[in-house]
A = this chain, B = another copy of it.
Amino acid sequence: MSDISEQWQADLSDLRREIDAIDQQVVDLLSKRQKQVEHVVALKKAHNLQVYHPAREEDLISARRQQAKEAGLCPDYIEELYRIIMRRSRVEQTDQMAVKAVKPGATVLIVGGTGEMGRYFVNWFAGAGYLVRSMGSGDWDNVAALCEGIDLCIISVTIDRTPEIIERISPYLPPGAVLTDVTSVKKAPLEAMLKAHSGPVLGLHPLFGPTTSTLDKQIVVATPGRDDDACQWVIDQFSLWGSVIVMSDAGEHDEIMEFVQSLRHFATFAFGQFLAAKKVPLARTLEFSSPIYRLELGMVGRLFAQDSALYAEIIFATPERRALLKEYIGSVSKNLEMLERGDKAEFEQEFEKIALWFGPFGEQAMRESSFLIDKLIERF
Question: Does A31 count as interface, using CB distance less than 8 angstroms?
Answer: yes
Contact A43 B15 (CB under 8 A): yes
Contact A301 B365 (CB under 8 A): yes
| Least distance between A214 CB and chain B CB atoms (Å) | 9
**Contact code string A92-112 (vs B, CB < 8 Å = 1, else 0):** 000000000000000000000
Q: Contacts A34-B72, A74-B88, A280-B259: A20 and B288 contacting too (C-beta < 8 A)?
A: no
Taking CB atoms, residues of chain B closer than 8 Å to A277 are: 331
Taking CB atoms, residues of chain B closer than 8 Å to A168 are: none
**Contact code string A352-371 (vs B, CB < 8 Å = 1, else 0):** 11110110011111101101
Question: Does A194 count as interface, using CB distance less than 8 angstroms?
Answer: no
Contact A73 B27 (CB under 8 A): yes
Query: Which of A76-84, A118-126, A132-140, A141-149 contacts the other chain?
Result: A76-84
Report whether over half of chain A's contact residues are helix, strand or loop; otherwise say mixed. helix
The answer for the CA separation of A338 and B74 in the assembled complex, in Å, is 54
Total chain A interface residues with beta-carbon distance under 8 A: 157
Specify how many copies of this chain sit in the oligomer.
Answer: 2
Q: Contacts A267-B271, A347-B316: A73 and B31 contacting too (C-beta < 8 A)?
A: yes
The answer for the CA separation of A331 and B354 in the assembled complex, in Å, is 24
Taking CB atoms, residues of chain B closer than 8 Å to A312 are: 344-345, 347-348, 351
Taking CB atoms, residues of chain B closer than 8 Å to A368 are: 294, 298, 376, 379-380
| Least distance between A338 CB and chain B CB atoms (Å) | 9
Query: Which of A61-69, A174-182, A196-204, A225-233 contacts the other chain?
Result: A61-69
Question: Does A278 count as interface, using CB distance less than 8 angstroms?
Answer: yes
The answer for the CA separation of A74 and B289 in the assembled complex, in Å, is 32
Question: Does A305 count as interface, using CB distance less than 8 angstroms?
Answer: yes
Q: Which residue of B lies closest to A325 (CB)?
A: B339
Please give 8 more A-B residue pairs, beta carbons under 8 A apart, in addition to A12-B40, A80-B84. A27-B64, A83-B378, A267-B271, A298-B364, A298-B372, A300-B365, A302-B366, A375-B375
19 A-B pairs, CB-CB below 8 angstroms?
Answer: A15-B40, A23-B64, A27-B67, A31-B73, A248-B288, A259-B285, A267-B267, A270-B335, A274-B327, A276-B358, A298-B365, A304-B351, A304-B354, A305-B365, A308-B351, A312-B345, A312-B347, A325-B335, A372-B375
